């Protein structure tokens, strides 16, 4: 059973736009709340690298 999680900064409504994540075993699965059928799977090391880059360059994308 999936346990999708999202940031508390995403808003409390079901219509809020956010990225959701589910940790299943050694993988992380990401999806867009507006299109939950499309998912991206990451290995543990790939997800750590993804988060590291997002933290490092995230503000530059704004």
pLDDT (tens digit, 0 to 9) for every residue of the chain, 62 residues total? 678 888 777 766 666 678 899 998 899 999 988 888 999 999 999 999 999 998 888 766 55
Residue 43 lies in a domain: yes
Query: In which residue are the tokens 């993804």 written?
Result: 50
How many domains are there within the chain?
Answer: 1
Its pTM stands at: 0.70
Which residues share a beta bridge with 28? 23, 42
Look at residue 25 in the predicted model and tell me its pLDDT.
87
CA 20 to the chain's CA centroid: 4
Q: Domain containing 44: what range?
A: 18-61
The answer to whether residue 25 sits within a structural domain is yes
Sheet with 27-32, strands from edge to edge, namely: 5-6, 19-24, 27-32, 35-43
């Amino acid at each position: 059973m999936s346990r999708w999680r999202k940031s508390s900064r995403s808003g409390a409504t079901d219509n809020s736009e956010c990225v959701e994540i589910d940790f299943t075993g050694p993988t992380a699965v990401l999806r867009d709340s507006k299109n939950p059928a499309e998912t991206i799977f990451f290995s543990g090391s790939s997800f750590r690298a993804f988060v590291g880059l997002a933290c490092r360059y995230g503000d530059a994308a704004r």
